[in-house]
Amino acid sequence: MNPQGALIYLLDFAFSAYIFIVLTRFVLQLARADFYNPISQFVLKATNPLLKPLRRVVPGYGGLDVASLVLVVVLIILKAITILSIQVGGFPSGIGGQLILYSLRELAAVILNYIFWAVLLRVILSWVAPDPYNPVVRIVVQITEPVMAPVRKLLPPMGGFDLSPLVVLLGIQLLQILFKLH
């Protein structure tokens, strides 16, 4: 791998990891997860330096942490600009509108991927059957339950089998295909 490719890879990873952490903060608040959990505390400490000043400008709305979503979109745009500038050798002019559409589409893709992997992780954790008081297990259950509970209510009883994760995963895949977010 050439030095430019390695730099792009590292920047992509760093931006994606921080986007994941900020999105986790949004989802934790949306799911009303336990903020005394060690994982929640890490997410709070990692996101506070950028979110605290942003909250002065972007207030919450209807119980939603709008500042977190705005930060995710800003990070997606910065990631695209940074990587495109490295690849092209400068920022091309006239792509502002395309960049905003790209960022919104990327936000939808990131949210769907986040839910997909969280549900899949919950399924795997249920097979392994770790301690239900484990901080990771508790957070994953708290994050995925708002998505899985409505589906579980719609499904008829299946003799002790919970097929709601399968329906949720298939629904996410369908949305990704319909909106070409893959």
Is 90 exceeded by the pLDDT of residue 72? yes
17-68 pLDDT tens trace: 999 999 999 999 988 888 899 999 999 999 999 999 999 998 888 878 899 9
Structural domain count, the chain: 1
Amino acid at 27: V
Q: Alpha-carbon distance 179 to 182, whole Å? A: 9
CB neighbour class for 19 (10 Å; exposed up to 12, middle 13-18, buried from 19): buried
Domain that holds residue 126: 3-178
Which residues are paired to 64 by β-bridges? 61
103-143 pLDDT tens trace: 888 999 999 999 999 999 999 998 886 778 888 899 999 99
Amino acid at 154: L
pTM: 0.87
